[in-house]
Amino acid sequence: MTLFIEQCLNGVQFGLLLFLLAAGLTLVFGIMDLVNLAHGSLYMVGAYFAATLTAWTGSFVLGAVLALVGTLLVGMAVEVIAMRRLYGRDHLDHVLGTFGLILFFDEAVRLIWGPEGLSLPLPSWLNTSVTILPGIQYSAYRLSIIIVALAVAAVLYLLVMRTRVGMLIRAGASNREMVGALGVNIKLLYTLVFGLGAALAGLAGLMQAPILTVQIGMGENILILAFVITVIGGIGSIRGAFIAAILVGFVDTLGRSYLPDILRLVLSPNAAATAAPALSSMLIYLVMAVVLVVRPEGLFPAVRK
């Protein structure tokens, strides 16, 4: 039972991390109709900045905040220099152009930081475990990820639903020409939205860094998951991204955890041990394929185009 609760928490934590990544992606996709494969690169940049700045300032929190600012700036720069020219073009153009950006970012990171990757050690006050329920210990750091991500989700919700900027964002997703015609500086809006997405990606990158990794190409594996979440949730919908992300986080974590045992009932232990991770990775794509066939606009589509 304890195991199950822990795994559920792990699933939620992973899902929330994915949400941060997917939120930016779905925003950019929904509002600017831009397929951005380089989103994973911003995730990587966030992690690298955090590792370097934490080592430099000696403080984890300060390093993280500065890294966020850095990623925001990089995101806005990328939007101004490269993305602007891609708006309105075919999705194929987006895919290719941003694929090129992935190559560029991977090499640039290698040039600046070397091929070995970095590490981001946890400060001692986070590197402990907390008793959340009698008899159940959980990693303090993972708990803090859950709290921070939920807070960010709440802020995002308030931003999009309750502020003027949020209203402009939603309007822009609905009908960008109209918003431009009404005199809103659509260019600035786009830059800000892209920057916001970049910052969210960077946050996800730096938060997973102490538990997972800071290395070149780290965005590529998780980018696919982010896209899957975007599609399942519905393009342009933050609410959809949230729910889809939690779903995916659960499926992946619980799948990895319990599938080997389930498989061992039918296969030999060795075969089960190798097939299980494969199957659990596949599960997510199966879910997406099912959603696409049954409800192609996604579970919570934002707007009609």
Partner 1 sequence: MRQTLLAAGTALMLAAGPAIAQQKSIKIGFVSTFSGPVAVIGNDMRNSFELALDHMGRKMAGMPVEVIYEDDGFKPEVGKQKTEKLIEADHVDFIAGYIWSNVLLASLKPVVDSKTFLVIANAGASQVAGELCSPYVFSTSWQNDQTPEAMGMYMNQKGVNSVFLIGPNYAAGKDMLDGVSHTFKGKIVGRELTTWPSQLDFSAELAKAKAANPDAIFVFYPGKAGVQFLAQYAQAGLKGNIPLYTAFTIDETSLPLQKELALGVPGAQEWVNDLPNEANKKFVADYMKKYPGHRPSFYGAQSYDAANLIASAVAAVKGDLSDKEALRKAFERADFKSVRGNFKFGNNHIPIQNFYVQDVVKDASGDYVLKTTATIVKDYQDLSHSKCPMK
Partner 2 sequence: MNSALTVRNIVVCALLVALALLPAYVKITGNIFVLTLFTRIVILGLAAVSLNLMLGFGGMMSFGHAAYLGIGGYAVGILAHEGIYSGLVQWPVALLASAVFALVVGALSLRTRGVYFIMITLAFAQMAYYIIAGLARYGGDDGLTIYKRSQFLAPLDLTNKVQFYYVCVALLFGAIYLVHRLVNSRFGLVVQGSRSNDLRMRAIGFPTYRYRLTCFVIAGTLGGLAGALIANNTDFVSPSMMYWTRSGDLIIMVVLGGMGSVVGPLIGAVALLVLEELLSGITEYWQIILGPLLLLVVLFARGGIDGLLSQIRARVAA
Q: Does the protein bind partner 1 through residue 303 (CB under 8 A)?
A: no
Stated as kind and residue range, the H or E segment containing 133 is: strand 129-133
Q: How far apart are CA 277 and CA 283, in angstroms?
A: 10
- Which 79-98 positions form the footprint of partner 2 (CB under 8 A)? 82, 85-86, 91-93, 95-97
Question: Torsions phi, psi of 264, nearest 5?
Answer: -65, -20
Between residues 75 and 249, which has the closer beta carbon with respect to partner 1? Answer: 249
**Binder to partner 1 among 19, 48, 49, 141 (CB under 8 A)?**
141
Q: Does the protein bind partner 1 through residue 3 (CB under 8 A)?
A: yes
Q: How far is the CB of 130 from partner 1 (least distance, A)?
A: 10
Q: Does the protein bind partner 2 through residue 295 (CB under 8 A)?
A: no
Residues touching partner 2: how many (CB under 8 A)?
47
Q: Does the protein bind partner 2 through residue 121 (CB under 8 A)?
A: no
Q: Does the protein bind partner 2 through residue 262 (CB under 8 A)?
A: no
Q: How far apart are CA 119 and CA 187, in angstroms?
A: 37
Query: What DSSP character marks residue 35?
Result: -
Stated as kind and residue range, the H or E segment containing 137 is: strand 136-139
Q: Which does 153 bind (CB under 5 to 8 A by kind): partner 2, partner 1, none?
A: none
Query: What DSSP character marks residue 118?
Result: B
Please answer whether residues 31 and 230 qualify as being in contact, where contact means their C-beta atoms are separated by less than 8 angstroms.
no
Helix (H, G, I), strand (E, B) or coil at 88: coil
Q: Does the protein bind partner 2 through residue 215 (CB under 8 A)?
A: no
The half-sphere exposure of 234 on its side-chain side, counting CA atoms within 13 A, is 18
Q: Does the protein bind partner 2 through residue 282 (CB under 8 A)?
A: yes
Between residues 73 and 279, which has the closer beta carbon with respect to partner 2? Answer: 279
**Binder to partner 1 among 221, 282, 285, 286 (CB under 8 A)?**
221
Q: Outline where 138-237 has alpha helix (H).
A: 140-162, 164-174, 176-181, 186-208, 218-233
Q: Which does 231 bind (CB under 5 to 8 A by kind): partner 2, partner 1, none?
A: partner 2
Pick from 186, 165, 164: nearest CA to 175: 186
Q: How far apart are CA 220 and CA 160, in angstroms?
A: 28
Q: Which does 215 bind (CB under 5 to 8 A by kind): partner 2, partner 1, none?
A: partner 1
The footprint of partner 2 (CB under 8 A) covers 29, 35, 82, 85-86, 91-93, 95-97, 99-108, 110-111, 220, 224, 227-228, 231, 235, 270-271, 273-279, 281-282, 285-286, 288-289, 292-293, 296
